[in-house]
């Protein structure tokens, strides 16, 4: 072995990278499983983190890989929770649109009641129902006009406020609210058409 390799200063070879990933996979899976409490999600997180390490940092010195991998794993877990939070918000948002009235001067996110946050929906049936609704929402999002889709994603996915969304889109705050309202009601209507009670 080259003396530098013992210090972790030489670049990792493909074999060394593969050996490192194999050595951390089991512990990383347990770590992710404790964090997200779902075996499939934990496996996805670990695979995603390993892929990111190989793609972005595979040529780093061997000694740097453990810290890099831990940082990537923690960021991937945080991203997972962020996506879950946003998707949960979508479900709550559409549940709040059950009246079917469209008010273009109102941004649904600003009037969204937070009461649903106090009711845990963590049973298997709840998770299945939520995942099915999210899948339909994501399909229907592709059918929206481009500006409505952009406003909706900036507000409810990127979590920008109205002013920030207006700046990104190059339009007025009133236009952002109109686009968001139309998008939300169009999606709620599409969900009802598929037989989903909001």
Global confidence as pTM: 0.50
Q: What is the model's pLDDT at position 127?
A: 65
Distance CA 186, CA 29 (A): 40
Distance CA 50, CA 28 (A): 10
Structure tokens, 25: 């996979």
Q: What is the model's pLDDT at position 96?
A: 60
Q: What is the model's pLDDT at position 95?
A: 63
Q: Which fold has domain 3-82?
A: Rna Polymerase Sigma Factor; Chain: A (1.10.1740)
Q: What is the model's pLDDT at position 71?
A: 92
Are the CB atoms for 109 and 93 separated by under 8 Å? yes
Which residues of the chain does CATH 1.10.10.10 include? 96-193
Which residues of the chain does CATH 1.10.1740 include? 3-82
Helix (H, G, I), strand (E, B) or coil at 142: coil
With a cut of 50, list the residues of the chain below it in pLDDT: 1-8, 99-100, 102, 111-120
Q: Which fold has domain 96-193?
A: Arc Repressor Mutant, subunit A (1.10.10)
């Amino acid at each position: 072995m080259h003396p530098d390799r013992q210090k972790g200063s030489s670049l990792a070879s493909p074999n060394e990278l593969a050996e490192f990933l194999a050595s951390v996979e089991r512990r990383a899976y347990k770590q992710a499983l404790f964090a997200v409490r779902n075996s499939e999600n934990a496996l996805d997180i670990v695979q995603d983190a390993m892929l990111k390490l190989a793609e972005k940092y595979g040529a780093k010195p061997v000694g740097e890989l453990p810290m890099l991998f831990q940082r990537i794993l923690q960021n991937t877990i945080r991203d997972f929770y962020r996506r879950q939070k946003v998707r949960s918000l979508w479900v709550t948002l559409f549940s709040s649109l059950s009246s079917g009235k469209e008010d273009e001067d109102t941004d649904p996110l600003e009037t969204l009641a937070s009461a649903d946050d106090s009711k845990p929906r963590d049973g298997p049936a709840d998770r299945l129902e939520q995942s099915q609704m999210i899948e339909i929402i994501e399909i229907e999002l592709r059918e929206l006009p481009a500006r409505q889709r952009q406003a909706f994603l900036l507000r409810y996915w990127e979590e920008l406020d109205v002013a920030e969304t207006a700046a990104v889109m190059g339009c007025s705050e009133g236009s952002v609210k109109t686009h968001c309202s139309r998008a939300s009601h169009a999606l709620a209507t599409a969900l009802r058409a598929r037989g989903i009670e909001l």
